[in-house]
Amino acid sequence: MTVRTRFAPSPTGFLHVGGARTALFSYLFARRHGGEFVLRIEDTDLERSTAASVNAILEGMNWLGLDYDEGPFYQTERFERYNAVIDELLERGLAYRCDCPKDRLERVRDMQMAAKQKPRYDGHCRSRQVDPAQPHVVRFRNPVDGVVVVEDLIRGRIPFANEELDDLVLRRSDGSPTYNLTVVVDDADMGISHVIRGDDHVNNTPRQMNILTALGYQPPRYAHVPMILGADGMRLSKRHGAVSVVAYRDLGYLPEALINYLVRLGWSHGDQEIFSLDELIELFDITDVNKSASTFNTDKLDWLNQHYIQHADAKRIARLLSPHLGHLDIDPSTGPDPVAVVEAQAARAKTLVELADISAFCYADFDDYEPTAAKKHLRPVAREPLQRVRAELDMLALADWQDAGLHRVVERVAEALGVAMGKVAQPLRVAVVGRAASPGIDVTLRLVGKAATLRRIDRALAFIDARAAQS
Stretch of 110-118, 123-131, 246-254, 278-286 lying at the interface with RNA (CB under 7 A)? 110-118
Which helix H or strand E contains 157, and what residues bound it?
Answer: strand 156-161
Candidates 144, 149, 328, 420; binder of RNA (CB under 7 A) is: 420
Give 324: exposed, middle or buried? Use CB within 10 Å, 0-12, 13-18, 19+. buried
Q: Give, as ranges, the residues between 207 and 266 that touch RNA (CB under 7 A).
A: 226-227, 229, 233-235, 264-266
376 catalytic? Reply is: no
* Residue of 2, 173, 276, 372 that binds RNA (CB under 7 A): 173
- Binding residues with RNA: total (CB under 7 A): 86
Q: Which residues, 274 to 313, sit near RNA by CB under 7 A?
A: 288, 290-295, 297, 299-300, 302-303, 306-307, 310
Q: Which of residues 352-371 bind RNA (CB under 7 A)?
A: none
Q: Which of 32, 81, 109, 221 binds RNA (CB under 7 A)?
A: 109
- Residues from 176 through 195 that contact RNA (CB under 7 A): 178-180
Phi, psi of 194 (to 5 degrees): -135, 120
What is the SS3 assignment for 152?
strand
CB 30 to RNA: min, Å: 21
Site for RNA in 118-147 (CB under 7 A): 118-121, 135, 137
DSSP calls for 254-296: -HHHHHHHHHTSS--BTTB----HHHHHHH--GGGS-SS-EE-
Sole binder of RNA in the list 86, 199, 256, 330 (CB under 7 A): 199
**Cβ closest to RNA, residue 193 vs residue 305:** 305
Q: Are 75 and 43 in contact (CB under 8 A)?
A: yes
Measured from the CB atom, the residue of 331 and 403 that comes closer to RNA is: 403
Instruction: Show the site string, 86-105: x = touches RNA by CB under 7 A, - = not.
Output: --------------xxx--x
Establish if 162 lies at the interface with RNA (CB under 7 A).
no
Instruction: Establish if 50 lies at the interface with RNA (CB under 7 A).
Output: no
Contact window for RNA (CB under 7 A) among 28-36, 167-175, 335-343, 460-468 = 167-175
Report how far residue 447's alpha carbon sits from residue 402's, in angstroms, rounded to the nearest whole number. 9
3-class secondary-structure state, position 309: helix
Contacts (Cβ under 8 Å, ≥6 apart) of 224? 152, 154, 155, 197, 198, 199, 201, 202, 205
Contact in structure between 444 and 429 (CB atoms under 8 Å) = yes
**Catalytic residue (one of 102, 118, 238, 315):** 238
Q: Are 11 and 49 in contact (CB under 8 A)?
A: yes
Which of 32, 78, 124, 201 touches RNA (CB under 7 A)? 201
CB 60 within 8 A of CB 29: no
Among 439, 446, 452, 456, binds RNA (CB under 7 A): 439
Q: Which residues are CB-contacts of 407 (< 8 A; sequence separation ≥ 6)?
A: 440, 441, 442
Q: What is the smallest separation between the CB atom of 49 and RNA, expressed in angstroms? A: 8
When the beta carbons of 151 and 331 are compared against RNA, the nearer one is 151
Nearest approach in angstroms of CB 222 to RNA is 12
Q: Which residues contact 288 (CB under 8 A, 6 or more apart)?
A: 267, 268, 269
393, 434, 442, 448: residue in contact with RNA (rule CB under 7 A): 442
Q: Do the Cβ atoms of 265 and 198 come closer than 8 Å?
A: no
In the window 51-80, what residues touch RNA (CB under 7 A)? Answer: none
What residues pair up with 195 in beta bridges, in sequence order?
Answer: 222
Contact residue for RNA among 39, 169, 184, 362 (CB under 7 A): 169
Work out whether 348 is an interface residue with RNA (CB under 7 A). Answer: yes
Please choose, from the candidates 10, 68, 26, 20, the residue with its C-alpha nearest in 3D space to the C-alpha of residue 242. Answer: 20
Nearest approach, Cβ of residue 469 and RNA (Å): 28
Residues carrying an active site annotation = 238
